[in-house]
Amino acid sequence: MRIIVAGGDGFCGWPTALYLSKQGHDVAIIDSMVRRKIDEELRSNSITPIASLAERTAKWKELTGKEIRIYMGDLQHFDFLKLVMEQEMPEAFVHFAEQRSAPYSMIDREHAVYTQVNNVVGTLNVLYAIKEIVPDCHLIKLGTMGEYGTPNIPIEEGYLEVEHKGRKDRLPFPKQPGSYYHLSKVHDSHNIMFACRMWGIRATDLNQGVVYGLSTDETDMDPVLANRLDYDGVFGTALNRFIIQSAIGHDLTVYGKGGQTRGFLHIQDTVRCIEIAAENPADPGEFRVFNQFTELFSVLDLAKMVLKVAQEEGLDTKISNLENPRIEKEEHFFEAVNTNLLDLGLQPQLLTDDVIRNILKTVLLHKDRVIKENVLPNVKWK
């Protein structure tokens, strides 16, 4: 298939582009490089050194003979996007290209506005570009499990059968997101659903859990292909953050009581889920929703797992509870369905001590790159 991976320089997008290319798909990347600019803004970095996108794709071609074309530009610029679509005529458009940090979106008004404009306008442009240029192209859009929030009922995959005053309907599952970033994804979901209904676009919304891990078979092929790994209080996700804290002898900082339960998955499963979605496209007009996670953990569960492995490796660390900078429930019911991807053949890579140990070993190699002032959270919700 001809596939565009938008956001293909990012944490999820880069390994996905490589994996799809390896599987024989014809891959092109769109990326504005804004994530690298945000590193400069926050005076932060990836703990792994990352090569430029041009160096990465050149190395991939040298090692495999496969070309991944690059288009540097912003999805907010429709003229640019239109040209790329006309050039590539994609059969699938994988859309990772958003501002994805909840704390970043909560820094202040400017960052909230930037996040929502970037994400909502970018996605609207993708919808119009598909409608005008490649109406049969399958949009595979990354949503997040955080769109649902933490309702006191089990979370379904996108829709809820409702009986109300003697009548029944299948309605979008209620959304109660916890940040302006998560809200941007809810707005995207509504816009995509509307476009499917109006124009017959085919779309899959992947409500992804928190992604942990770093490498895939492809990114491991050469240091130039290495994936980024975020650890700072703004972009670092829970498990990765704890592993890096353990490597530098920092306490594992659990926000509040640590009872916040979320869906998680390994980066290797992210890339496989995208392949599954691409190979099993939604029907024209269908807005399909998959909950893309493999296991549920509370934040405290994760900290305990990392602590155990870190201590086995002789590292001196402990768990400490920080005042929660976010406004969220710290003890709550959480149950979510995730059968759609499993039914289509996903075989999850589960979180074991060895998985944690492998990430830790890579982190230890680069621990001198950690900017210690960035490790603790500095963005508050209120």
User: Given the rule CB under 6 A, which residues bind ligand NAD?
Assistant: 7, 9-13, 30-35, 74-76, 96-100, 118, 122, 142, 144, 208, 210-211, 237
State yes or no: is 185 an active-site residue.
yes
For ligand NAD, give the closer residue by CB, 106 or 165: 106
For ligand NAD, give the closer residue by CB, 80 or 313: 80
The DSSP bridge partners found for residue 252 are: 319
Position with the least CB separation from ligand NAD: 10
State yes or no: is 317 an active-site residue.
no
Buried b (16+ CB within 10 A) or exposed e, 294-321: bbbbbbbbbbbbbbebbeeeebebebeb
Which entry of 181, 212, 231, 255 is annotated as an active-site residue? Answer: 181
**Considering the complex, what minimum distance in angstroms separates the CB of residue 164 from ligand NAD?**
31
Which entry of 48, 144, 219, 253 is annotated as an active-site residue? Answer: 144
**Considering the complex, what minimum distance in angstroms separates the CB of residue 273 from ligand NAD?**
11
State yes or no: is 144 an active-site residue.
yes
Strand order in the sheet with 69-72: 69-72, 26-31, 2-6, 92-95, 138-144, 202-208, 287-292
**Considering the complex, what minimum distance in angstroms separates the CB of residue 319 from ligand NAD?**
22
**Considering the complex, what minimum distance in angstroms separates the CB of residue 64 from ligand NAD?**
22
Which entry of 185, 231, 237, 294 is annotated as an active-site residue? Answer: 185
For ligand NAD, give the closer residue by CB, 102 or 370: 102
Q: CA 274, CA 188: separation in Å to the nearest integer?
A: 18
For ligand NAD, give the closer residue by CB, 209 or 281: 209
**Considering the complex, what minimum distance in angstroms separates the CB of residue 318 from ligand NAD?**
25
Q: CA 181, CA 106: separation in Å to the nearest integer?
A: 8
Q: CA 55, CA 164: separation in Å to the nearest integer?
A: 57
Q: CA 252, CA 322: separation in Å to the nearest integer?
A: 10
**Considering the complex, what minimum distance in angstroms separates the CB of residue 323 from ligand NAD?**
23
For ligand NAD, give the closer residue by CB, 285 or 348: 348
**Considering the complex, what minimum distance in angstroms separates the CB of residue 76 from ligand NAD?**
5
For ligand NAD, give the closer residue by CB, 10 or 258: 10
For ligand NAD, give the closer residue by CB, 264 or 287: 264
For ligand NAD, give the closer residue by CB, 179 or 311: 179
Indicate which residues carry an active-site annotation.
144, 181, 185
